[in-house]
Amino acid sequence: MDPHARYQSPLTSRYASPEMAANFSDNKRFSTWRKLWLNLAIAEKELGLDIPDGAIKEMKEHLYDIDYTLAIAEEKKRRHDVMAHVHTFGVACPKAAGIIHLGATSCYVTDNGDLIILRDGLDILLPKLARVIQRLSAFAEQYKDLPTLGFTHYQPAQLTTVGKRATLWVQELLWDLRNLTRAREDIGFRGVKGTTGTQGSFLALFEGNHEKVEALDQRVTELSGFKEYYPVTGQTYSRKIDVDLLMPMASFGATVHKIATDIRLLANLKEIEEPFEKDQIGSSAMAYKRNPMRCERACSLARHLQILVQDALGTSSVQWLERTLDDSANRRICLPEAFLTMDILLTLLQNISEGLVVYPKVIERRINQELPFMATENIIMAMVKKGGDRQECHEHIRVLSHEAGAVVKQQGGENDLIQRIRKDSYFEPIWGELDALMDPSTFIGRAPQQVERFLKDYVQPALKPYEEVLRQESKAELSV
């Protein structure tokens, strides 16, 4: 069928990276099942079951040549995806046909396979997150000294610096890196547990030898690349594991939404803009527009990522006793979508962070509109040092501030408070100091030093495990 004649998920058809799309592909899933059947057979043979060398050899040779036509026909007939692939693998490996899936239940391949795919998905995401942190940290370093108007309640507040504001973004991303690293390290293996988790079928295979059953569980876990298996399971691994994976992803979604929203607000002020390509069109009608489409896309997808954990929470809460099957269809959607969405967001963030445009003159102009009001306390102090009366000075500057405020709010003019002070003979003793008192760099506190220490003491250690991958050249290009 023409691919344009049927619905395709935009996550894969429009946005996702090839590596993450491949991680959740049929090829990855079903070749992983075959590797798990191979690992089971190898471990069972090592522990004394009569499995021919030829069977192992055949299985190794046919891990990837999946006959999908046969598998689809078998699933349609049997209404069981695992047994369809057991049969398909057996046709490719006739010497192994009788021992494939020996002693196992379907969840041996479906659940263990999912855990492998989820683990590999995090191995794709974590270096990308480290790269975004690196890019935004470089931005913070570059602009650590550039004063900018701070905002609380989105109202003018004391000054900060462009770089210091960026560290607020980076700090949350560091926490996301920590949380996702913990989730990655916590992933275990379901192992070989049987139909209800009792390992009864394997105990029968090994004629009541409990030590061999435990050894089988450990050996298959090692062959599958895991350090440990979950000590107890029902038929499935606990769906709480899915919650533990999607929760830090949802938290990352909140981080992205905050960063992208901040940039959208600053773009409206014309202080900072996301990359805007030479031939990019902001509006079909308004030719002058430069819409922040990357950040808008990031906010849109971040909201989707934040809600997917609700699927995992709901599924975990209704797994009756040893399991029910109402988890399956839901997990086929929410788990891949979470990983694909986070992958897309990381590409977006890297692209944005590599091309952020700062407009210092616009930032300076906005500072000059607000700084006179912020400097009033410094002006009062300077007058007191010259012998002035604090209360009298306060009243003088209060009157002038209200007059200047009226010019700004009622007449739409510029803030002329400093000009009024220069014309008021009461303030003549400090006229020569006004330029120094109005220097924005004296209003930013320890912002530059905070940036330096934060990057040295927190960012650099967090990125150390990713030094090698971060040395490799990487540029995030948006496909559409």
Active site residues: 153, 283
Q: How far apart are CA 184 and CA 124, in angstroms?
A: 11
Say if CB 221 and CB 191 are below 8 A apart. yes
Evaluated on CA atoms 194, 198, 204, 207, the torsion sign reads positive
149 has which bridge partners?
Answer: 159
Centroid of chain to Cα 326: 28
Instruction: Please state the φ and ψ torsions of residue 161, each to the nearest 5 degrees.
Output: -125, 160
Count of beta carbons in the 10 Å neighbourhood of residue 356 = 19
Q: Could you tell me what percentage of the chain is helix, strand and coil, using 3-state DSSP and rounding each to the nearest 5? A: 70, 5, 30
Residue of 256, 264, 272 lying closest to 306 (CA atoms): 256
Structural Rg of the chain based on CA atoms: 31
Long-range contacts of 64-70 (CB under 8 A, 24+ apart): 64/27, 64/31, 64/34, 65/92, 66/26, 66/27, 66/30, 66/31, 66/34, 67/91, 67/92, 68/26
User: CA-CA distances (angstroms) from residue 451 to 65, 137, 140?
Assistant: 53, 9, 7
SS3 158: strand
Residue of 316, 336, 437, 341 lying closest to 383 (CA atoms): 437
Question: Which tokens sit at 379?
Answer: 């002006």
Residue of 179, 114, 71, 473 lying closest to 312 (CA atoms): 114
